[in-house]
Structure formats: structure tokens, C-alpha cells
Amino acid sequence: LRLGDVALGSDHGATIERWLAEAKARLLDPQTGLLISSYTLEGERLQGPEGSTLWMSLHNLRLVDPDFAHAQYRLARGELAIEVAGFGFAREWPRHGGGLGSADVDSGPVVPILDASAGSSGLWFLGAASFGDQDGLASLQRSLELFAFPDRDASGLRYRAAGAMGNAVLFAARSVGPLWRLASEQSSRRQGHGA
């Protein structure tokens, strides 16, 4: 909605504010404080926080409530991020409760012992880029270069293990464009601080 408002001059501010109030009141996991990943139309919880959903949601949340988004990112990083010997990965489900789920199409395979999820790790890349988390980006990049089978040729760079969707997420993380920046700046000004 925010991108549409910026691009088209529309104003969905009231709708956004209603959703934010409802989300803060009803869509936070009581154990972790993180936004839950799925709920009914009535706002009843279906699943707890899931990394493969949360990182993308927080990236988008920056456009409507930067302060809430940053607070959620800090919580998510503490609950989901894994850094071992300089390599970064992300869990699908929080370390401290929040409800474990089972691997599905969003999470991708989950590596035992580390509890690292391919989906959550890839989308953490987008979250880290969005929130300027240089340490997270560096650890994720090291993992990507070692484990995702980079393939460089005349057409460019792609990661064989990432597949089409993973490569699209990586591209998005590296290329947030002018409309995104403008919407982000406007949201930050509304809250009274710089982007």
C-alpha cells in the first residue's frame, strides 16, 4: 500500500494505522514478542513466528512503521540468526519458544543440529540488507559463497543451490530501488527521524 501511495499519490494511511494497531495488540507471539506468521481473518493465531515469513514482513514493515520494524528486526535477529565461525544462517522457528513447526514449502529443508532453514537464511539476507545489518550480511555472504555453489559466467552470477526464488530474493536484497527508498524516507519523516 505504501509503495502505491508514493507512486500514485493515494493515501491508505488510515488503513495502515488500523492494521498496525491490530497487529501490535493481537499478532505478537507472547513468548518472543515477534509477529506471528499466519492468522485467521478474525486475527486468531494459526502459526507462531517463522523466519521465512518474518524477514520479508519486516522488510516491508519498514515502509509503514520504521520504529516497530527495527524493534522486530532486533528481536528476530536474536531469536533466529545463527552465526558459527563467521558463517551466517537463520532458524525457521525462534530459539525461545514461539512454537515449533514442521518444514514446509516456505522453510525449505532444515539442517539438523544447527536448525538452519534455507528459506529463513535466504530471506534474512533481505532483512539484513534492509536494516543495514553489515555484520549479518557479511556472515550470510560467506555462507552463500561456500554453500550455495556460485556460478559466474558471461550472463552474470547465480547461486545454483538457491534456485530461481532464492536468486530473486538475493537480487531484491542487493537492489532496493528508488521507489522503495522514497517510500522509506517518507515513512521515516512521518515518525520524525531520518531514514
Separation of CA 10 from chain center: 26
How many CB atoms neighbour CB 74 within 10 A?
12
Which triple of cell numbers denotes residue 68?
516497530
57 Cβ contact list (under 8 Å, min separation 6): 35, 37
Give, rounded to a whole angstrom, the gap between the first and last alpha carbons of the chain. Answer: 19
pLDDT in tens, the chain (195 residues): 888 888 899 999 999 999 999 999 999 999 999 999 989 998 888 889 999 999 999 999 999 999 999 999 999 999 999 999 999 999 999 998 755 556 665 656 778 888 888 889 999 999 999 999 999 999 999 998 898 888 899 988 888 888 888 878 888 887 776 667 778 888 888 777 655
The domain limits of the chain are: 49-190
Which pTM does this prediction carry? 0.84
Strand 150-153 with 156-159, pairing: antiparallel
Helix axis angle, 134-147 relative to 118-130, nearest 10°? Answer: 140
